[in-house]
Amino acid sequence: MREITYTWHHALLVGRLLIGLVVLLANISCSSEAFSFHPSRSNTQPRLRSSNNNHVLYHRPTISTNRSSRSSSTNALHMKANNNNAPPPYPVRVTVMGGGNFGLALATVVAKKGVPTTLLVRSDDVATEINENHRHPRYMTDICLPRTVRATTNKKSALSDATYIIHAVPVQYTREFLDTVKDDIPSSVPVLSASKGIETSSLGFMADILKECLGEDRSYAFLSGPSFAREICEGVATAVVIASEDLMLADDLADLMAGEDFAVFTSRDVIGVEVGGAVKNVIAIAAGMCEGLGLGTNAMSGLVTRGCGEMRRLGIYLGARPSTISGLSGVGDTFGTCFGPLSRNRKFGYRLGKGETPEEIRASMTEVAEGVDTSIALVKMIKERCKGYRLDLKYPILFGVAEIIEGNMKPLEGLQGLMSFPTRMENYDERF
């Protein structure tokens, strides 16, 4: 009798253990690694990750949308793959809109990771040259692009199956360009903007323009930092930041782009990154004028430092974090743009300091110096959004550059005006 009772209790214990094991395995199965992907840092295609036994790459962050009905004959596997909240069931494909220097640089970054990358360009001749000879016929012609970069002028073929879209069209041309492609961009595809500045017509940042043109029901991210296109293509060490309200998107894009010579940090401070990216170009024009006038290192260092103070003041007023302004997208990008020999905005300012007019400089440039139009838009935006007494005293460098660009002041007069400012505390807003 004792032996029977022992056997029965033993069987009951074993049964409970088996049930517990089944529950544990079920929980482990539900805890997919889909949202904790750690990419390879090599120059090969990023490794696959597993999500409910479907091998996919990355996570496509999406905003909830209405899902179309599916036929009852569709099996459960395909239903999961087609769900907007699931990762894409195919290898990642990236489309870069804009075939300028920075578009080429970011296409190179992604393609080095083995990701199929499409450049959407305007000219069939440019597309043919890139596809056949792997070089752009006008920009950085000595740079050989990765063979996984393909170019096309066909908007539908470039955008319809993209997992991520990178926008690298200059700010002032963005709205017109997006109007031509918005119907070809799938509603769930996130967009990474690499454009910096303020639109002169709306006085909006890129975040405002993208939401107005492509809708608010998608995720957006914004890349900034000290990153000259040529150095990126040449594999020189570079560090940038990607900001997004959807931090999961920022993390996935960082995984997608980060490599041995391209470090990517993330942030939620979109407005801070946008302010830094816009204002630094204006400061760079001022720094270029300082050099063109032959004023020396002391003057330029003081000018750039005071310009960063104006950037910080504006950023905080608009809701940015001070740490963002002092980071890669603010002070970091300002240093690169003001002191780097590859800066278009600095070169523009240098020629202004040498006596050329804005019209003469523009007529001879093949690339856009974003700070020129941004300087005028920035002053208008400050007057519209920032309330207070004597805004020209709070933002003398930003206001002064706009006056020079508009032809109301000479570069030397602007500098003399700065030097004649009344003595006060270095940071007037820290008088407590």
Catalytic residue among 112, 280, 347, 394: 280
Q: Active-site residue 182, yes or no?
A: no
Cα diameter, the chain: 110
Catalytic positions, please? 280
